[in-house]
Structure 1
Amino acid sequence: MNITLNKEASRFGEAFAIGNGHMGAMVYGGMKTDRLDLSENTFFSGNKSEDDNQAGASEAFYKMREQTAAGDYAAALETSHKFYGKRGNYGTNLPVGQILITRMDELSETSGYERSLDLENGIVSSRYMQNGEQVTRQAFASHPHNVIVYEAVCDKNDMNLCISFQSLRDGEYVKYHIGGIFFVCEAHETMHSDGTTGTLLCGKVSIHTDGFPEAKEDGVYIKRASRVSLYITAITDFKEEVLEKEKQILQLQMKMNRTFVKVDELAVEEIREAHRQDMQALYSRVTLDIGDQPLVNRMFQMGRYLLYSSSREDSLLPAHLQGIWNDNVACRIGWTCDMHLDINTQMNYWPSEVTNLPETAVPLFRWIREDLVPAGRKTAAESYGLKGWVGELVSNSWGYAAPYWASTLSPCPTGGVWTITQMWEHFLTSQDKKFLKEEAFPVIEEAVVFFSAYLFEDKESGYLTCGPSISPENSFVVDGKIYQISNGCTLEILMIRELFDIYQKACRVLRRKNKRMKETADKAARLLPYRITGNGQIAEWNHDYPAADLQHRHTSHLLGLFPFAQITPENEELAKAAEAVITAKLTPEENWEDTGWARSMLMLYEARLRHPGKALGHIDSMLTNLLEPNGFIIHPPTRGAGSFDNVYELDGNTGLTSCIAEMLMQSHDGIIRILPCLPKQWSKGEVKGLCARGGVTVDISWDENFCQVNFGSERSRRITIQYGEIRKTILLKAGNTSICLK
């Protein structure tokens, strides 16, 4: 399955992404010069800090609680400055630089130019005629060999090239030699850190050619070649022992050479074949063919491809805001290229279970356990005065868990809770009790410790409430002034409700009975219920002050609809109130703050409400307005998230993939729903390999006259299925069970 750009698109620098879970690159084709923008899956600038939390923050927090309870939002805003975390050396992911491959020949106009990304094999290709010869170029990033490969081939021995490296990073060092390039970069920047801390990167380009290379000060020049291949690798000192710079470079170089020496001896064909097999194995686990919908089919696989290209079992870090790529935009604006925990990181990983890519979430789970939770214990103690752990709205490579440094995003202590729900989803889909017991449950239980103590009683209603906190990233208006901080935000309540429910279920699976289990059950029953406002909408706050932006891109108060299942169509009152929120956000639609991930949320909500026409309408809108020619879904500059340019975000693509899967199969609440949100335009199709909660795989073939379903299970069991108005319980035998539903 290919994504193809024609000649005109390529001239304007449209990029294709190649990646393998360790290294990534943006590959740009051109007539005179090809450019590879390199990025490494670490946050280069910034560093781990032991004092991210402000001294006296916990006292300020409880003072804010009293002030917001009294309705004195101005005083709470003033006090919040004593609560914020320290920005210090938070940092951001930075692009490494560019490798330029420039033709030094006199070139005629090209003809027949075509460039494409082969999703199944993970290879970017371009071909064209020039100077009377066929020129072919390929690039791919091999996970088995941890190397980016770029190859240029022509019919004749007449390519004259210059290969050079350029970087905007501090401390750049480049050495050209007849066999390639060695380069060093330091990641220092002052927008998100003080410019003194950051990781060090060493990179290597090995050149293989049948031409005649010569090293000069400005590059490696190659004459009379018919084939040139570049093997590119890089390594950083992320989490390594801190040494003097010269010793650090030497150590990194030695480590890189040890791992790269065998790869350097391999032929391109051998590396490419191992890469193709690796990529095909992941791609082919789930197939989709909806008749007359080639773009939908392609974008479904594009989201999967970008996820498993960004995140593998042995990746050092989970996928950040842009996966593993960097367009040099997000790192140069205020909101950074990092792990946002109020939607983006979560949406990155939503396809991991349902589209059969569970290993992609392994680095996320490792980062939670090893980085976020330890830092979160300090935040719980120092910023809230409580036991347990807590993660706020933003985080980075070192697990930053302290509150954000502005009232628009702080406090927001449920960011970590939302992130760990992916661990529960992994158990539900895999039924891996060992994972639940050893990896997920300790993290879940320690979060419960925090939030059990965090709750307090609302004196007016008698319910348990929480806060103060914000509803990301929205504001409300009191007496003409804008505020964000209040008690009883719907997002926070629904997150705590979900956490307590997960804990109860996990205890039952693991046969744990303790006082905390009973305590959380009692407290869950006393949580503030969903509230419906006078205009028939799910309330965003526990007050009726109007939102500052009625069509704000965030809809955090609807997360009980998706990804959770606290609101379902069976509860008609809440479902109707949720739909009313969506309608209001889109009225008028041209004023909706449209972004890739925000549009994904709307389509996912409609999929759960089983409104196929509306869900498809959101898909069509995304593919019309937010899709770049290269398959990337963008976050354009908006009034609430300004930028000097469009920003690529991984979550737009993965959100779309999740929605398509959700329209074809849903498995929450113990029921596997077949084609629950099928638009009439998708009248014929086939999907194979979807994974339902409960450890069941689902294949579906359908047209206007029939629906055939094949269930796969490792053990015999009974399941409940629903297709349209038909609901029944069936017996699955170990292996495969096929049924016809029409």
Structure 2
Amino acid sequence: MSQHLFLPVIPPFLMKKPTITFFALATAAFILFNLKPADAQDQVSSGNGRIDGFAIAKKHSILCDKPAQDFFEGSLLGNGAMGVNVTSRPDAIVLYFGHNNVWDIRLAEHHKEEIGTFEEVFDKVKKIPADYSDLNNDAWYRQYGQMAGDNYSKPYPRPFPCGSVLIGFDRRKVQVTRQQLDISNGLCTVSMITNDKKQLFLKLFTDMKTDRLLLRLVDEKDRPAINIFDRIKVLPDPSTPGDIPSFSAREDLEGGRLSFRQVLPFDEPEKHSTGNPRDRAFRLTLNVNGPLVKTTRINWNGGKETMALLEGALSSQVPFDATITLQEGPASAVREEIPPVSINDGKQFTALFKQNEKIWVKYWAKSAVSLDDQFLEAIWYRNLYFLNCAAKAGATCPGLFANWSYNNIGTAWHGDYHMNYNVQQPFWVTFSSNHLEKNIPYVDLINSLMPVSKKWAKEYYQLPGAYFPHSAYPVEMSMNPYPLPDWGWEVSETPWAVQGLWWHYLYSGDKAFLKDRAYEPIKAACQFLTAYMKRTDAHDGNRWKDDKYHVFPTVAPELYALRPGFKFNYDCGVDLTLIKFIFKAFDRATADLGTSSQEALLLADIREILSHFPKYPVAKTASGDEVLVAVPGESAGTVYNVPNALFAAFPGEDYGLHSDKKTLQLLRNTYLNQQNEGGNDLVFANLQAARIGMLNIDEFKRQVRYCLLPNGTATDMVMQTRGRYNDQTDYGYMSKMGIWFENFALPAVINECLMQSYSGTIRLFPNWPENRRAHFENLRAAGAFLVSAQKINGKITRVRIFSEQGNTLHILSPWGDQGTISVSGKKQQVASGEISIKTKPGQWITLSRN
């Protein structure tokens, strides 16, 4: 689901913000700052030179040459579970904490009986006159929609900000000069100057193994510096709802500890009772390396004011070292007492930083690129940095805004999982970038949604298998959170939900993964889809005047919703291509696992439907060109919110560079005709363009620049009117909703320009300009191959491929038959432009020009 979906439930202040003014300054905030590379212990290598990804990442540090006081200027740190946003203002450094596992877990699940079944609602909608302009003109439908949307209208569930820590100083004595984030190792440095011209640096990093932030103040020679801060304060989040238990504070001034604990009740307010075993809690604890004291100051009224609760002053006679720890889990495990913690004495800082740096070196060794286009190179490394900070196996799958939040930032649309692109998109980058470990949170999410998805299929649709919900939360659910018969009837979301599981197997070749993690969700999706398409309403010759199995009713993502007479509510291109994709995937899965005989009935249904499958919807442009469109009967001039027209190219992967000339022309006509209003197309539409070899790199860069924020992330920005937006729309209204996790997939667009393998055949540099140099190492291809290649002055040099699983390698020779292939040292002449060779696990294959 697009982030525009639930505009009516967005708090009004989000919709009425004045135009954001800092975008024009965004690019200036991204100064490429060169530092001396640290020693990389594990470099990515190929037979044609070496790329040190760690050193290249260090080139692309993110620098703000002034106090970074705004949340969207701050340096983003994280370990895949805990997130920290480091901001600096003229009188303090403020750290904002969030965590993927910390949510307001209350859940409204009312109206279960009133919602009824799909057939009951479908029958009533059929009776609404087809000549109505909108279904809401019907009183019953309008009231039903209000009832069905009641649960989603509650402010919970949502990510719960974990509080902040303020480290203050007297600005007469100290000034912040700049703030820098080294993305190679996650080190943030806030530079300061004292009134006696001493340069001081507060260094911060998140422990990649434990939910804690370490801080150290040093001088120009990296020696411990005497404390300059006059106060330190721990602040619970100001958006904490008043209908949950208040936080409890703990102060151990002698021990240098300030801490608060927040209980997150499982029950809604009217049901809440203390001590529910399903309640959760978190605790934020500051530990400094010396005792704290309460001091007084003269306030605005001229009276003395003592420091507030959870505020203290540190002696100015000791070095400043601190640790901030975030503990989360069941309320019974997060105790009232402040947990003991080892004191950060400088030695701990150094040792843990070295440990962290090894983890980052290993991360950057997974894959690497070296591009002469420094802007694209920076985008590639920075977004993979953000991905590593935001997601990891064992932590809850990030929602819309990942693990950075404060106040209402990160809570729009509940910050939840939208199953028609938002939750899938950030994980597209994990496959080609060779970071399959980062796809595991998504795999865990889909498996966790199986019970409610199967329950909804059985009880609401009265069909077998699983119907994945339109929106979902990382909390215990017993019904679809968004059961409205408009966006909640998007059939495409079920095959789309499980597609990422198949891709994980396709790119890894891991049969154990297929058997244990992917097979059952894919099978359950196919069970539902075959049953849905074989219903009489979807396969009735009298109604449809053909022998096809139709997808009916359904809704295109972010377009039309449910219409009177079901106009535009059948055979959407996205439904057709994703259903076809997952049917074929399951067919192959049964063959690979040897389960074809036991799945004979389901496979028979799949093959029957595929043999009587509807065609993709098309329309004619004003100039007479045929183009793909979202739904049958649609105008070729429709403005989309989600790039609907090219779904067959991506994510459907039915069409692409492997297609015949006629289809390629259809795709090109469609691309040139398609209009997208923005907000959901920065990665999506540009990746589609790369898949058909039509991405204009310079246009892509301009759009990325338009969407960049000063912190290095790309936000969702409106691009044009004539869709749902008008000339009064604030084009940047989504920019301050949160850190858009979905756009961390930007490196996937670059990867698709360098290499494509979706069809099973590897294509090198299919969308890369002839006059631009590019070198990539260990991009992952379908079939479990790691590919490295270089292009200089329009010429591709030697190509090296590693076969993980021993599958058959299919690759288009960059030189036609004018090349040689070397397998385990044995050379032979390339016979044709398309190479097909059986490999062995662990084998290296090298291609060279004669």
Name the TM tier (shorter chain).
Answer: 0.7 to 0.9
Give the secondary structure class of the aligned counterpart of 2:327.
Answer: strand
Whichever structure has more helix as a proportion of its residues is: 1
Q: Distance in 2 between matches of 1:617 and 1:328?
A: 37
Q: 2:231 aligns with which of 162, 172, 177?
A: 162
- Shift, 1:8, TM fit: 3.5
Pair 1:696-2:696 in alignment: no
In the other structure, the counterpart of 2:764 is 674
The count of residues paired between Structure 1 and Structure 2 equals 709
Task: Give 1:50 deviation, angstroms.
Answer: 6.3
Gaps of 5+ in 1: 241-247, 587-591
Contact conserved, 2:619 with 2:633, CA < 8 A, in 1?
A: no
Note the C-alpha offset of 1:380: 0.9
Amino acid aligned to 2:231: C
- Superposition pairs of residues 383-402 of structure 1, within 5 angstroms: 383-398=460-475, 402=480
| Deviation, structure 1 residue 539 | 2.4
Instruction: Tell me how large the CA RMSD over aligned residues is.
Output: 3.4
Q: Is the 8 A contact 2:91 2:171 kept in 1?
A: no
- Tell me the CA shift for residue 408 of structure 1: 5.2
Pick closer, same or farther for the CA change 1:203–1:327 going to 2, 3 Å: closer
Does residue 562 of the first structure (1) align with residue 562 of the second (2)? no
CA shift for structure 1 position 196: 7.3
How far apart, CA to CA, are the structure 1 residues paired with 2:565 and 2:814?
A: 46
Task: Compute the displacement of 1:717 (Å).
Answer: 5.0
> Partners in 2 of 1:552 and 1:189 — Cα distance?
39
> 2:77 touches 2:389 (CA, 8 Å); kept in 1?
yes
CA distance in 2, matches of 1:537, 1:358: 35
- Contact 2:553 2:570 (C-alpha < 8 Å) held by counterparts: yes
Number of the residue aligned with 2:822: none
2:608 to 522, 530, 554: 522
Over the matched positions of the two proteins, sequence identity in percent amounts to: 17
Distance 1:253 1:424, change over 3 A: same
Residue matched to 2:498 = 420
SS in 1 for 2:620: coil
- CA distance in 2: counterparts of 1:693 and 1:162, whole angstroms: 55
Q: Does 2:673 align with 1:593?
A: no
The 3-state SS of whatever aligns with 1:558 is coil
1:25 to 72, 84, 99: 84
1:94 aligns with 2:160: yes
CA deviation vs aligned residue, 1:156-176 (integer Å, no higher than 9, x gap):
535133111222114233333
Instruction: Name the aligned partner's letter for residue 599 of structure 1.
Output: L
- State whether structure 2 residue 189 is matched by structure 1 residue 114: no
Q: Deviations over 1:555-588 (max 9, x none)?
A: 23422211231112424444434444433344xx
**How has the CA–CA distance of structure 1 residues 6 and 174 changed in structure 2, closer, same or farther, with 3 Å as cutoff?**
same
Mapped partners of 1:229, 1:195: distance in 2: 45
What is the 5 A alignment of 1:9-408?
10=68, 14-42=73-101, 44-48=103-107, 54-63=114-123, 66=126, 74=134, 78=138, 82=144, 84=148, 87=151, 91-104=157-170, 106-107=172-173, 109=175, 113-131=177-195, 132-154=197-219, 157=226, 159-166=228-235, 167-168=237-238, 169-170=240-241, 171-178=246-253, 179-186=256-263, 200-209=280-289, 213-214=292-293, 217-218=308-309, 219-225=311-317, 227-237=319-329, 240=330, 248=331, 251-253=333-335, 257=339, 267-291=348-372, 293-315=373-395, 317-326=396-405, 328-329=407-408, 331-333=410-412, 335-370=413-448, 372-398=449-475, 402=480, 404=482, 406=484
C-alpha displacement of 1:261? 5.9
Q: Which residue in 2 is equivalent to 1:466?
A: 551
Q: Distance in 2 between matches of 1:255 and 1:172?
A: 13
* SS at structure 2 position matched to 1:135: strand
Q: Is the 8 A contact 1:427 1:436 kept in 2?
A: yes
SS of equivalent residue, structure 1 residue 554: coil
Distance in 1 (CA, whole Å) between partners of 2:568 and 2:261 is 45
CA distance in 2, matches of 1:669, 1:449: 25
TM-score, scaled relative to structure 1: 0.87
Which ranges of structure 2 fall in alignment gaps of 5 or more residues? Answer: 1-57, 273-277, 295-306, 817-832
Change (3 A) 1:236 1:180: same
Match status 1:635 vs 2:716: yes
Distance 2:317 2:568 in 1: 65
Matched, 1:541 2:626: no
Q: Is the 8 A contact 1:318 1:361 kept in 2?
A: no
Structure 1, residues 404-435: CA drift from partner, whole Å, max 9, x if none?
Answer: 25565231243242121111111111111111
Distance 2:191 2:745 in 1: 32
Conservation of the 8 A alpha-carbon contact between 1:43 and 1:338: no
Task: Give the deviation of 1:55 after TM superposition.
Answer: 3.6
The residue number in structure 1 matching 2:299 is none
Say if 1:311 and 1:318, in contact at 8 Å, map to a contact too. yes
Aligned mates of 2:778, 2:517 — CA distance in 1: 26
Q: Give 3-state SS (helix, strand or coil) of 1:138's partner.
A: strand
Secondary structure in 1 aligned to 2:284? strand
Whole-angstrom CA distance in 2 between matches of 1:310 and 1:21: 4
Deviation of 1:660 (Å): 0.6
1:5 pairs with one of 63, 66, 70: 63
Looking at structure 2, the residues matched to 728 and 93 of structure 1 have their Cα atoms a distance apart, in angstroms, of: 50
Alpha-carbon spacing, 1:719–1:24, altered in 2? closer, same or farther (3 Å): same
- Change in Cα spacing, 1:545 to 1:280, as seen in structure 2 (3 Å) is same
Per-residue deviation at 1:69? 11
In 2, the alpha carbon distance for the partners of 1:56 and 1:109 equals: 63
- Partners of 1:377 and 1:675 lie apart in 2 by 42
Give the equivalent residue in structure 2 for 1:646: 736
Q: What is the distance in 2 between the residues matched to 1:230 and 1:52?
A: 50
Greater RCO structure (CA 8 Å; 6+ sep): 2
Q: Residue 324 and residue 618 in structure 1: after superposition, are their counterparts in 2 closer, same or farther (change >3 A)?
A: farther
Q: 1:70 to 1:416 in 2, by over 3 A?
A: same
Q: Tell me the CA shift for residue 721 of structure 1.
A: 0.8
**Secondary structure of the corresponding residue to residue 647 of structure 1:** coil
